[in-house]
Structure 1
Amino acid sequence: MRGFKVFVLALLSVMFMAGFGGCEKKEWRAPEKMHWDRDMCERCKMAISDRNYAVQVVDPKTHKHYKFDDIGCAILWFKEEGIEWEPKAVIWVKDAKSGKWIDARKAWYSTNQVTPMGFGFTAYSKKEDAGSGEVIGFDEVKRRVLGRGR
Structure 2
Amino acid sequence: MKSLFFTLATLLLSLSFVGCENRVDTKVSEVHWDRDMCARCAMVVSDRHNTVEVKNPDNGKTYMFDDIGCMILWFDEEAPSWKDRAVIWITDANTGQWINARKAFYDTQNITPMAYGFSAHKSKQDIKQNQEIIDFNEVVKRVRVRGK
TM-score (norm 1): 0.80
1:113 aligns with 2:110: yes
Partner of 2:37: 40
Q: Could you say which residue in structure 1 is the equivalent of 2:77?
A: 80
SS at match of 2:26: coil
| Partner of residue 31, structure 1 | 28
Mapping for residues 98-109 of structure 1, pairs under 5 Å: 98-109=95-106
Aligned equivalents of 2:71 and 2:138: distance in 1? 15
Deviating 4+ runs (over 2 angstroms): none
Distance change (3 Å), C-alpha of 1:53 and 1:112:
same
Match of 1:89 among 66, 86, 90: 86
- The answer for the alignment partner of 1:125 in structure 2 is 122
| Percent of aligned pairs sharing the same letter | 50
Determine if the alignment matches structure 1 residue 141 to structure 2 residue 143. Answer: no
* Number of equivalenced pairs: 127
Q: Which of 26-35 and 123-132 deviates more?
A: 26-35
TM (norm. structure 2) is 0.81
Asked if the contact 1:123–1:130 (Cα under 8 Å) also holds between the matched residues in 2, the reply is no
Q: 1:61 aligns with which of 46, 58, 68?
A: 58
- Unmatched runs of 5 consecutive residues or more in structure 1: 1-22
CA distance in 2, matches of 1:85, 1:77: 13
Paired residues of 1:56 and 1:91 also in contact (CA < 8 A): yes
